[in-house]
Every structure is written in structure tokens, then in C-alpha cells.
Amino acid sequence: MTLEIITSPLLEPFRHGFFTRRGGASSGIFAGLNCGPGSSDQTEIVEINRARVAMAMGVEESHLITVNQVHSATAVPLTAPLADRPAADAIVTATPGLALAILTADCQPVLFADAEARVVGAAHAGWRGALDGVLEATIEGMEALGATRANIRAVVGPSISQRAYEVGPEFLDRFLAEDPDNARFFAGGDSDRVHFDLPSYGLYRLREAGVGDAVWTRHCTYSDPDRFYSFRRTTHAGEADYGRLISVIRV
């Protein structure tokens, strides 16, 4: 099966893509394009999957760069391939030939581009990272490389949608403590549960930060098991582990 790659005209002319799980070598609960070395999938199979992604992006395997994602607000600049993966949740570069990659399985993968300055970025933005400022940190990192905030375009890729993201009152309280207006990103659920709109919150933070444009691809990872991995769906199904989707952009 060939790779399925979701793209956005907002990120042109840069080669980029939000890869679905289709077209990979993994099997069983990881069936498809599992690119997560942190999963319990076979290491050599994950490497095959990542090699396919690198080929699709037109880079050497060593130039497909991921970081050790820890739900932080840290963005790191890159000028060359990494010997070790630093603890960070965003990457920025202006160096041709480097492909910035983010792994997700419900959290937001966000790709950034300033076509005029030839600077790109990629961020892993779950609720914690988004709340703590990882999207703004990515923008600031791009500016340090010559990007202009108003020229930056950002695209939120496949993420868990509000209807599938039920959370408890302590989760809601954390967002309200940050800003009472965050109540608009929550809708009622059963009993004391509420549903959080992660993509809308991400778009709000991006637009408040002053980027030129920001959109969501409107793909829900939870509700489409044939195309996407989902941590929450795996948890509900009682499965032992889950695959990781990859999203990539290069100069």
C-alpha cells in the first residue's frame, strides 16, 4: 500500500506532509506506518517506516529529525542532523535538506512555514504543551532565524476532536485558572465531565500570537482507526500499546 500524505496549500512551496498510518510495514496493533521508536514495535520495522517517510520527503534517513518529546514548551533550532535527540517538543530550521518531524497519536502536530524567509518549524502540541506555550516558542524560534511573525503560516494536522476528548473537572479548572475565557473551548458531557476542543484552542493560541494564517486539517485521530493511531482509542480498547503518526516539513 502506498503512503497517504495529507498536505496543505498554506505550507507551499515547502515539501511537507501529515502522514497517516497507511503504507507502513508494521503489523498487529501497530499495523501501518508506525514511526515511533518509543513504542514496543520491532525496532527494525520502525526504521523501515521512517526510511519510507524520509524517501517521500526527499532526504537522507539521518536528516529526518525527531526530538525526545516531553510535553514541554521548548523549541530547539537546528542547523545540522542531531547526534542525540534533545528533550523538546518543537524544532525550527532554515537549513536546506533537514526534515523536521513530530510524532503524535491524538496531540496536535503543527507545521509552520515562512515562505519569504525560508524558515520552517514543527511542534508537538498536546494540551499541556499548548497551555504552557510551545506554539509561541516555535514562532519565537523561527523569528530568531529570520522569520517574520505575520508571514508565518501554521497548519494543525490530525488531532483528537472535541467530541472524542472527554476530561474531568480538574482539567477544566486548570484552563480556567489560566484564563476564564478558556471556558469557550469546553462543552458539556456526562455528569461532571466536559469535552475539550484541543484544535480550536491551538488555533486560538496561534492567532493570538499573530501568525499570518492558521488552519486545522479537520481530521480526527480517534474516530478514524483505518487512517490514524490514537492513544485514547487504544486506552479505551484496552490494547497494550499504540503507533505514532509522523508529520514532517523541510526547507
Confidence of residue 191 (pLDDT cuts 50, 70, 90): confident
Domains of the chain: 5-161+197-250 (3.60.140.10)
- Residue pair 57/40 in contact (Cβ under 8 Å)? The answer is no
Interval 62-101: pLDDT, tens: 999 999 999 999 999 999 998 889 999 999 999 999 999 9
Interval 108-154: pLDDT, tens: 999 999 999 999 999 999 999 999 999 999 999 999 999 999 999 99
Residue 170 is predicted with a pLDDT of: 97
Residue 231 is predicted with a pLDDT of: 98
Residue 62 is predicted with a pLDDT of: 95
pLDDT above 80 (res 189): no
Residue 209 is predicted with a pLDDT of: 98
In whole angstroms, give the CA distance from residue 35 to residue 47: 7
Sign of CA pseudo-dihedral 196, 197, 203, 208: negative
